[in-house]
Amino acid sequence: MADKKKVIVRVKRQAGPKQEARWEEFALDWRPSMNVIIALRDIAENPLTRDGQKTTPVSYDSNCLEEICGSCAMVINGKARMACSALIDDLEQPIRIEPLSKFPVVRDLAVDRQFMFESLKRVHAWVPIDGTYDLGEGPRVSPETQEKGYPLSNCITCGSCLEVCPQVNEKNPFIGAAIISQVRLFNMHPTGAMHARERLEALMGPGGIADCANAQNCVQACPKGIPLTESIAEVNRQVWKQALFGWLLG
Amino acid sequence: MSAKVFRPDRSYLLRKLHSLSGIVPVGAFLAEHFWSNSTVLVSISKYNETSRELQTIPFRIFAEALMIWLPILYHGCYGIHIWMRGKSNVSDYPWVGNWLYTLQRATGLVAFVYIGWHVYAERFLTHGKSTYGDMERTLQNPYALAFMAVGIVASSFHFGIGIWNFLCKWGLTATVQAQRAAGRLGVLVGLAFSLVGILILVSFRLNWHPFEFYIK
Ligand code: SF4
Ligand code: FES
């Protein structure tokens, strides 16, 4: 075999949260079914840039390698997507890899998604089951609700929906589609519904649901195919009803 | 770290009011305005009659201020505020919804500027007594004609896309199919309003009254 097939990858590097970003180019040996995470691992194995300069391994988050943990979202060739399911053969070269732009960079491609976790806390995205005494069994979840809720429960908090949303930016800390969809999920759960009002009120505050401007990018970008625009519409209805009738009807 | 406590604040109400005001009264007025102006397609006298009738409603100034000017001013100013807080990325993600998002901001601005001029020229310069003759004279100027055409198309599509946004944002269309239908409806309204608006312009410009046979 003559020269080995090469894969040209350009990575946006940043040594720390406050450091200047720069680009580095790598030429890697092609392998069958190679994906972006494998490319990053190959760099770590032999951290040499294309022109032979020694460099450091690229920092990035990943875990499951099967699009289920949500940690590896990056901007690849200008699009937000999961690195572990981004096959090299499907990508135009040189492949540009950047960190998500809507979250603070920790280092290189690793970003801090604390904003999303704070937002989940803000809307109480859970079903409370503990009390100071035994609360007993909750109401049953109907099969219909289970069926509706299951796809929503697939959210992996990857942040792709925030990354592509024009309403999420430095000037506008919009809570984003994922969290609104979680409100729908927990409000449809019969035990979770007991705290529906708190969730809806949390969405009326700054950066809440009213900041959605219906660009509908989220639903296009979501790697889990979650019906985000349906969730937003549904929760929007719940919120304005709460706002309008909450104080009237209690 | 404990989660920050968020309280409902005024921004929710203001934002909802912005959304609603685009449909009623602003959108509703747009429809009424096209409706009454389309009388020019019948005849000059019918147009002048209709204008006269609208110009002589009781409490006119209050009706205009409360139902037309203030809502448009609010919708426009708050709309610009919303625009400043978004960051269009249609070049990275050229999806239909994202195009509509960007278009909604551009048409909104054009429509707002245009409406400002239109009200000044046709309402204030004529002391609220605009007639067919005034419009005809304005439209002799090719720049005014072009500006009106652009303003009409921008307002029409802003309203059309606004209908789709409204239906989605109030959860009135909650399924994907319903939202797709709402989108089609919005585009259709934009096209229909544009068409009627342009026909009205042509009517003034060419002294063309295709429905004159009604009264002959
Ligand atoms: S809704 Fe989809 S895109 Fe958004 S965080 Fe969850 S999985 Fe990621
Ligand atoms: S590594 Fe878990 S989603 Fe990609």
> Cβ–Cβ of A230/B98 closer than 8 Å?
no
> Cβ–Cβ of B8/A167 closer than 8 Å?
no
CB A213 within 8 A of CB B164: no
CB A39 within 8 A of CB A9: yes
In terms of DSSP H, where are the helices of chain B? 10-21, 28-37, 44-55, 60-64, 70-85, 96-119, 132-140, 142-169, 176-206
Domains of chain B by range and CATH? 17-208 (1.20.1300.10)
Instruction: Say if residue A94 is exposed, middle or buried (CB neighbours under 10 Å; 0-12, 13-18, 19+).
Output: middle
Residues whose CB is less than 8 angstroms from the CB of residue B52 and which lie 6 or more positions away in sequence, other chains included:
none
**A114-249 CATH fold:** Fumarate Reductase Iron-sulfur Protein; Chain B, domain 2 (1.10.1060)
> Cβ–Cβ of B11/A210 closer than 8 Å?
yes
**pLDDT value for B1:** 35
Quick: pLDDT tens for B9-27: 788 999 999 999 999 999 9
Domain A6-111: assigned CATH number? 3.10.20.30
Average pLDDT rounded to a whole number, residues B64-68: 96
Nearest Cα neighbor of B182 from B191, B192, B172 is: B172
| Cα A82 to Cα B116: distance, rounded to the nearest angstrom | 47
**pLDDT value for A135:** 78
> Cβ–Cβ of B3/A122 closer than 8 Å?
yes
CA triple A133-A136-A142, angle to 5 deg:
145
Q: Which residues of A touch B (CB under 8 A)?
A: 78-79, 118, 121-122, 164, 166-167, 169, 171-172, 201-202, 204-206, 208, 210-217, 220-221, 227, 229-230, 232-240, 243
Which DSSP state fits A193?
Answer: G
pTM: 0.94
Is A155 a residue whose pLDDT tops 50? yes
**pLDDT value for A33:** 94
Local confidence band at A146 (pLDDT 50, 70, 90 cut-offs): very high
Average pLDDT rounded to a whole number, residues A123-142: 87
Quick: pLDDT tens for A156-181: 999 999 999 999 999 999 999 999 99
Mean pLDDT for all residues in chain B: 95
Is B193 a residue whose pLDDT tops 50? yes
The end-to-end CA distance of chain B, in Å, is: 80
Nearest Cα neighbor of B138 from B119, B122, B161, B155 is: B122
Q: Which of A126-135, A140-149, A233-242, B38-47 has the lowest mean pLDDT?
A: A126-135
Local confidence band at B2 (pLDDT 50, 70, 90 cut-offs): very low
Is B64 a residue whose pLDDT tops 70? yes
**pLDDT value for B7:** 64
Quick: pLDDT tens for B164-180: 999 999 999 999 999 99
Using a pLDDT cut of 90, give the percent of chain A over it: 90
How near does any CA of chain B get to the CA of A171, in Å? 6
Is A30 a residue whose pLDDT tops 60? yes
Per the document, the length of chain B is 216
**pLDDT value for B197:** 98
- Nearest by CB to B95, which of A210, A220, A235? A220
CB B107 within 8 A of CB B160: no
Average pLDDT rounded to a whole number, residues A2-8: 85
**pLDDT value for A170:** 92
Is A250 a residue whose pLDDT tops 80? no
**pLDDT value for B3:** 45
Average pLDDT rounded to a whole number, residues B59-79: 97
CB B152 within 8 A of CB B201: yes
Quick: pLDDT tens for B108-165: 999 999 999 999 999 999 999 999 999 999 999 999 999 999 999 999 999 999 999 9
- Nearest by CB to B11, which of A206, A214, A217? A206
| Cα B171 to Cα B187: distance, rounded to the nearest angstrom | 19
Q: Which atom of ligand 2 is nearest to the CA of A223?
A: 3
Local confidence band at A128 (pLDDT 50, 70, 90 cut-offs): confident
The reply to whether ligand 2 has any atom less than 6 angstroms from the CB of A67 is yes
Residue B9: closest CA among chain A residues belongs to which residue? Answer: A205
Task: Show me where the domains of chain A are located.
Answer: 6-111, 114-249
